[in-house]
């Protein structure tokens, strides 16, 4: 079993020249990355070994990122949809949920808005949390549920919600439903219909809604911005503006896809989080 797990492991092998080189189990592939302007570390011969994933992937492929397993399929969204750049944040969510359960003697209640393929949801569920996974795409929800099954989490306390995340949050607030940890990761397709969520226009109002969804003993709020170009400082100011009244502290930084020592990390956006307690 351990050898099988090793064969599923994701690894960033190199980056540069506008691309990243990745190991996906037994497959090495590369994909475009406009932020990787620097020179590549590995020689060209290593990069030429990479295959085109869409062409190579004839059947589902298991990929393990941190403690979470996913399944890539020929019709799926590719590696980008799995968000390996959030691996460190999944681990932090697990640590926060485990600590909360120990201190409060009950599972943490987690709301994951724009939940995508489910990395945050699955990490939280592995830590024993009760999770509401909210995503507008029924197809994406189905993939996330498949991932839950792969991780033997199908029977955990996960509420799968196909709905507009903003409208769902507004209804939850009106119904006085409350959560201990709220995660917001607004990934909106480029071909989304007019009126879809826009980070610059809509995030302030959503944070205002979310502030009214916090429990009496909250863990915090985590915001990821992986669309467009947003400064961590911008997110820091937004989070301080909305949540400093509750005490605690706010931090922000770059979202980085990281590999082994010596592999240049790749920026994939910005994050900010408010935590009630350090």
Q: What is the pLDDT of residues 123-159, one digit of tens each?
A: 999 999 999 999 999 999 999 999 999 999 999 999 9
| Same domain flag for 71 and 123 | no
| Same domain flag for 63 and 173 | no
The CA distances from residue 63 to 10, 18, 28, 96, in Å, are 6, 23, 12, 25
| Same domain flag for 173 and 58 | no
- If pLDDT is split at 50, 70 and 90, which confidence band does 74 have? confident
| Same domain flag for 52 and 90 | no
Give the residue-averaged pLDDT of 67-76.
86
Residue 2: predicted pLDDT: 41
Give the residue-averaged pLDDT of 93-112.
98
Out of 49, 82, 115, pick the residue that ends a domain: 82
| Same domain flag for 186 and 58 | no
| Same domain flag for 121 and 240 | yes
CATH number, residue 226 = 3.40.50.150
| Same domain flag for 147 and 71 | no
Q: What is the pTM of this model?
A: 0.93
Q: Are the CB atoms for 278 and 239 separated by under 8 Å?
A: no
Question: Given a cut of 60, is residue 3 above it in pLDDT?
Answer: no
Cβ-based burial of 278 (10 A; exposed 0-12, middle 13-18, buried ≥19):
exposed
Question: Given a cut of 70, is residue 278 above it in pLDDT?
Answer: no
Residue 21: predicted pLDDT: 96
**Mean residue pLDDT across the chain:** 92
| Same domain flag for 73 and 96 | no
Out of 60, 82, 104, pick the residue that ends a domain: 82
Residue 54: predicted pLDDT: 80
pLDDT digits (tens, 9 = 90+) for 167-222: 999 999 999 999 999 999 997 655 456 668 888 899 999 999 999 999 999 999 99
Question: Given a cut of 50, is residue 4 above it in pLDDT?
Answer: no
| Same domain flag for 153 and 176 | yes
| Same domain flag for 127 and 234 | yes
121-139 burial: b if 16+ Cβ within 10 Å, else e: bbbbbbbbbbbbbbbbeee
Lowest-confidence segment of 184-193, 238-247, 256-265 by average pLDDT: 184-193
Residue 250 three-state SS: strand
Question: Given a cut of 90, is residue 160 above it in pLDDT?
Answer: yes
| Same domain flag for 199 and 144 | yes
Domain that holds residue 33: 2-82
Cβ neighbours of 62 (radius 10 Å): 16
Out of 82, 106, 130, pick the residue that ends a domain: 82
Per DSSP, 246 falls in state: G
Residue 6: predicted pLDDT: 56
Domain count within the chain: 2
| Same domain flag for 220 and 102 | yes
Tokens of 218: 């909250």
CATH number, residue 63 = 2.60.40.1180
Residue 126: predicted pLDDT: 98
């Amino acid at each position: 079993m351990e050898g099988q797990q090793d064969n599923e492991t994701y690894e960033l092998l190199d980056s540069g020249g506008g691309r990243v080189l990745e190991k996906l189990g037994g497959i090495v592939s590369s994909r475009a990355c406009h932020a990787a302007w620097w020179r590549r570390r590995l020689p060209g011969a290593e990069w030429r070994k990479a295959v085109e994933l869409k062409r190579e992937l004839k059947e589902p492929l298991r990929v393990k990122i941190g403690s979470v397993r996913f399944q890539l399929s020929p019709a799926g969204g590719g590696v980008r949809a799995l968000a390996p750049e959030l691996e460190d944040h999944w681990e932090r969510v697990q640590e926060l949920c485990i600590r909360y359960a120990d201190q409060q003697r009950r599972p943490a209640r987690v709301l994951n808005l724009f939940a995508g393929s489910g990395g945050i949801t699955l990490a939280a569920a592995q830590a024993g949390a009760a999770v509401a996974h909210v995503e507008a795409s029924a197809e994406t929800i189905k993939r996330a549920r498949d991932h839950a099954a792969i991780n033997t989490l199908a029977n955990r306390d996960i509420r799968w919600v196909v709905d507009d995340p903003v409208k769902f949050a507004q209804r939850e607030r009106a119904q006085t439903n409350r959560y201990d940890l709220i995660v917001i990761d607004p990934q909106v397709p480029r071909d989304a219909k007019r009126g879809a969520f826009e980070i610059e226009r809509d995030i302030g109002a959503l944070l205002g809604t979310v502030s009214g969804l916090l429990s009496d003993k909250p863990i915090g709020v985590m915001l990821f911005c992986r669309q467009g170009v947003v400064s961590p400082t911008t997110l820091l100011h937004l989070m301080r503006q909305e949540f400093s009244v509750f005490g605690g502290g706010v931090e922000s930084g770059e979202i980085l896809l990281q590999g082994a020592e010596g592999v240049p990390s790749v920026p994939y956006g910005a994050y900010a989080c408010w935590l009630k307690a350090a």
